[in-house]
Amino acid sequence: MVQIFIVEATGETKELGIGGKKSVGEFLDTNEVFIIVDDLSHKCFLWKGKNSRIRSKFIGAKKSQDVRGQVGLSYKVEPVDEGEEPDDFKACLKNVPVPGYAKEIREEGEGPKFLKDMDFNKPEKIPTAPIPSGSSSAQAAAPASSPAAKPYTTSVQNVGPLYTGEDVKGPIAKSAPPADYTKIMETLTGLETPAGYEREMVIIGSQTFSIVEKATAFLGQRVVKKEMEPIGSLPEGVFFAEGYAPRVLCENGKVLAIEFLKKVKGAADRFPAAARSGVLSSSKPIPALPPAAAQPTATAAIARPGKASATPTAAPAKASAPATAASSASSKKRPPPPKLPPEIVPPLPEEPGEPASEVQTVSLKDHLAKMGPQDLKKAFGIRVEKKEEVKKKKK
């Protein structure tokens, strides 16, 4: 089913081909703009001729959206220029237009569009505002035989407020009774503040009270009395009561007052100092750390050949069992250091008590220079050849 509308210069659309035998393609004109509704492809084609006016193109773009609103939002508006028609548009050109869901768009109630069509002798209707039935002016205008009143003299009377709240039923309409500040203050005064705290501010209903100290002198003695006085003006904003302990006074399921208690400086705390610091007190002593494992050290005494050692050998210190196991597991058994031959050991003092400054020391270089080939071979396993023997081997 296909419908075709022509876009007029007045901003209206007119349906074509109703009851005729012409196809859609026979209605197209190069000087006009048309809206074609194709139910098969669910599209609203906006066909624009090559010689059509720009005004008609803008009007057609707006009216095509109105036509889409009539047939349904599932339809898609697709603009088509003359000479660039797609295949689905060419397929609907052979169909004969028939009535469908889309209707002509007419500007109703705006009168003629041109001055030549206007009738200036006909009086213009002036809209009037509706008159309430309960007003006195409505009773005066009740007889139908009387001539109609002038529309400009008609007025609407406002009788009373628009909303009085009388029809509202429920607990919302009932206002809460005012709080008895005197009774609540007497109750708060009779309450004892907790140890280590003092009352600083009280909220009763919508009023806020602060605690004020008033001092009086009598016969040389100064008497301080604390009283609650309302705070005149409160600052705007949201505040967090940090450092205060709130205490709520409730009675008969309602909150009467809220106290803000502040901690007195130097007052005893609820918990001991160890608990406040995060350290739990315990009667069990803290076990001491095991002593560090002593490294086994030994001093080897260098003795002359044929004599006992004068310096005693230090025994390794006994370490604890865990330290010994750890050291034995971590360190492997090392080979003993090489022993020097007795010929190159420097001489030691004759007596153990002789000062170390008088000990005669001989350098290894000088000692090796004095040794012969047999001594070197015996001490180090080195064979020293003379120059003459080396020359013979080379020859």
Q: Which domains does the chain have, with CATH numbers?
A: 2-92 (3.40.20.10), 181-232+242-263 (no CATH), 362-395 (no CATH)
Count helices and strands in the chain by DSSP H and E runs: 10, 10
Between CA 23 and CA 28 the distance in angstroms is 10
Task: Evaluate whether 331 touches 337 at the Cβ level (below 8 Å).
Answer: no
Q: Mind listing the pLDDT tens digit of every residue in the chain (395 residues)?
A: 888 999 988 888 988 888 788 888 888 888 999 999 988 888 899 999 988 888 888 888 888 898 888 888 888 899 999 888 888 888 888 888 888 888 888 875 444 444 445 555 555 566 555 555 555 544 544 444 445 544 444 444 555 554 455 554 544 444 445 557 788 888 887 888 888 888 888 888 888 888 887 788 877 788 888 887 888 777 787 888 888 889 998 988 888 889 988 888 765 554 444 334 333 444 444 445 455 444 444 334 444 444 444 444 444 444 444 445 545 544 556 666 655 555 555 555 555 555 544 445 666 777 777 777 777 777 666 665 666 666 676 66
Tell me the H-state helices in the chain: 24-27, 54-71, 87-92, 136-140, 181-190, 273-276, 321-330, 364-370, 373-380, 387-394
Between CA 87 and CA 310 the distance in angstroms is 122
Residue 297: per-residue pLDDT: 42
Between CA 35 and CA 228 the distance in angstroms is 82
Joined tokens for residue 244: 């205060």
Amino acid at 24: V
SS3 readout for 167-212 = CCCCCCCCCCCCCCHHHHHHHHHHCCCCCCEEEEEEEECCEEEEEE
Which class for 263: exposed (0-12), middle (13-18), buried (19 or more C-beta within 10 A)? Answer: middle
HSE-CB at 140 with a 13 A cutoff on CA atoms is 8
Residue 317: per-residue pLDDT: 43
Residue 296: per-residue pLDDT: 44
